[in-house]
């Protein structure tokens, strides 16, 4: 049985926004877990900036809360010094990110008042689950906030669409579309695409559970379509793993009829195609991500990668969901967001 790890706060991202959040939490003795997609902290600053780069604002505007720059730091902090400062910050506040762990989706479970977060440990390619009271998204303004970065996605030349902006399958007739994320919204979108004549495929990362007790009768044996029903029934599944039963009858019929193809996991994305686990390569025109952070009302806090609420209320979502570092105000904005989040969290 898949076990979920219970945490008070889950912080996503180990760059300045996540690190500041972690430091503020640690100072107030709030337990948290931090996950980071890359294999090190501050990967942007360590690996994706050029050597001669300096912070473009004077250091007094680029100091993280609760730790000053060492004596003798130049007014415009060079990249290397900034990385050293961040490393010092991580030591000082004993931040221990879980690296190579990418969050794929988070859904609020109203019954338990908890966020159920699916992530993937990329080192061993295993799905990990967290159940969190609070969720802090510190994934950076440039990360689109809720598109999980699958290896190779930046080089994909087709369309990459988020389910939150998906309207209808009308313009996808006869196109090859891949839906990533087989929760309720993924199933709905796949159904809509297929009924509009799109050549639809869906990526399923784990066994899917039918919605009805009579599921076997209605769906029949779907294992040959890549869908293995979990051994637990839907109610037990929900109470033990926090995962809702999904798959509606319409989608299941289309899968059985071969109108929607099922794949079990993405290995990598090429310019025009996707390679699945097992090595099969399939061309696609568009990839649709039915992932993201969904509150009780099913809505995402983000639109096009930024919070829907404008400054100064951008950082506060519903149900204990917060974001840090999305105010387009650099490191100063990050510090403000983190302090706001901690104040509300402690209430």
Ligand X SMILES: *[C@@H]1O[C@H](CO)[C@@H](O)[C@H](O)[C@H]1NC(C)=O
Ligand Y SMILES: Cc1cc2nc3c(=O)[nH]c(=O)nc-3n(C[C@H](O)[C@H](O)[C@H](O)COP(=O)(O)OP(=O)(O)OC[C@H]3O[C@@H](n4cnc5c(N)ncnc54)[C@H](O)[C@@H]3O)c2cc1C
Chain residues in the site for ligand Y (CB under 6 A): 12-18, 35-38, 43-44, 49, 53, 55-57, 62, 102-103, 138-140, 142-143, 148, 325, 330-332, 334
Residue closer to ligand Y (CB basis): 245 or 331? 331
Residue closer to ligand Y (CB basis): 190 or 334? 334
**55 contact choice in ligand Y, ligand X, none (CB below 5 to 8 Å, kind-dependent):** ligand Y
Shortest spacing between CB 98 and ligand X, in angstroms: 33
Write out the H or E segment, with its range, that includes residue 105. strand 101-109
Asked if residue 256 lies in contact with residue 222, where contact means CB atoms within 8 angstroms, the answer is yes
Asked if residue 190 lies in contact with residue 246, where contact means CB atoms within 8 angstroms, the answer is no
Q: Is 113 buried (19+), middle (13-18) or exposed (0-12) by CB count in 10 A?
A: exposed
**201 contact choice in ligand X, ligand Y, none (CB below 5 to 8 Å, kind-dependent):** ligand X
**199 contact choice in ligand X, ligand Y, none (CB below 5 to 8 Å, kind-dependent):** ligand X
Go through the chain and tell me how many residues it has.
Answer: 347
Beta strands in 58-209 (DSSP E): 101-109, 114-121, 126-137, 159-162, 176-180, 199-203
Residue closer to ligand Y (CB basis): 106 or 255? 106
Q: DSSP 3-state assignment of 23?
A: helix
**261 contact choice in ligand X, ligand Y, none (CB below 5 to 8 Å, kind-dependent):** ligand X
Shortest spacing between CB 18 and ligand Y, in angstroms: 6
Shortest spacing between CB 196 and ligand Y, in angstroms: 29
The residues binding ligand X (CB under 6 A) are: 176, 199, 201, 261, 282
Residue closer to ligand X (CB basis): 245 or 290? 290
122: left (phi over 0), alpha (psi -120 to 50) or beta: alpha
Instruction: Report residue 142 as tokens.
Output: 């440039």
């Amino acid at each position: 049985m898949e076990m979920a790890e219970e945490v008070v706060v889950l912080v996503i991202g180990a760059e300045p926004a996540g690190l500041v959040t972690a430091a503020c939490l640690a100072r107030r003795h709030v337990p948290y877990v931090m996950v980071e997609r890359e294999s090190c902290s501050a990967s942007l600053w360590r690996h994706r900036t050029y050597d001669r780069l300096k912070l473009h604002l004077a250091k007094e505007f680029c100091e993280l809360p609760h730790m000053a720059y060492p004596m003798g730091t130049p007014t415009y902090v060079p990249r290397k010094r900034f990385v050293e400062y961040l490393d010092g910050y991580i030591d000082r506040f004993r931040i221990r990110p879980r690296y190579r762990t990418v969050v794929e989706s988070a859904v609020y479970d109203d019954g338990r008042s908890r966020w159920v977060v699916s992530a993937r440990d990329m080192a061993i390619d295993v799905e990990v689950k967290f159940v969190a009271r609070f969720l802090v998204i510190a994934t950076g303004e440039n990360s689109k906030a809720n598109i999980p970065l699958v290896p190779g996605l930046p080089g994909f030349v087709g369309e990459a669409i988020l389910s939150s902006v998906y309207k209808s399958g009308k313009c996808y007739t006869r196109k090859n579309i891949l839906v990533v994320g087989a929760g309720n919204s993924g199933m709905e979108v796949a159904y809509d695409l297929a009924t509009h004549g799109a050549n639809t495929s869906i990526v399923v990362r784990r066994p899917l559970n039918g919605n009805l007790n009579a599921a076997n009768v209605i769906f029949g044996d779907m294992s040959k379509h890549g869908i293995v029903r979990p051994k637990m029934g839907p109610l037990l599944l929900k109470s033990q793993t926090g995962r809702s039963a999904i798959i509606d009858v319409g989608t299941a019929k289309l899968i059985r009829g071969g109108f929607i193809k099922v794949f079990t996991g993405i290995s990598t994305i090429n310019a025009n195609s996707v390679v699945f686990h097992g090595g099969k390569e399939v061309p696609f025109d568009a990839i649709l991500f039915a992932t993201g952070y969904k509150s009780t009302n099913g809505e995402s806090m983000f639109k096009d990668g930024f919070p829907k609420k404008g400054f100064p209320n951008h950082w506060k979502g519903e149900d204990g969901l917060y974001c840090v570092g999305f105010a387009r105000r650099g490191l100063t904005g990050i510090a403000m967001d983190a302090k706001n989040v901690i104040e509300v969290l402690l209430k």
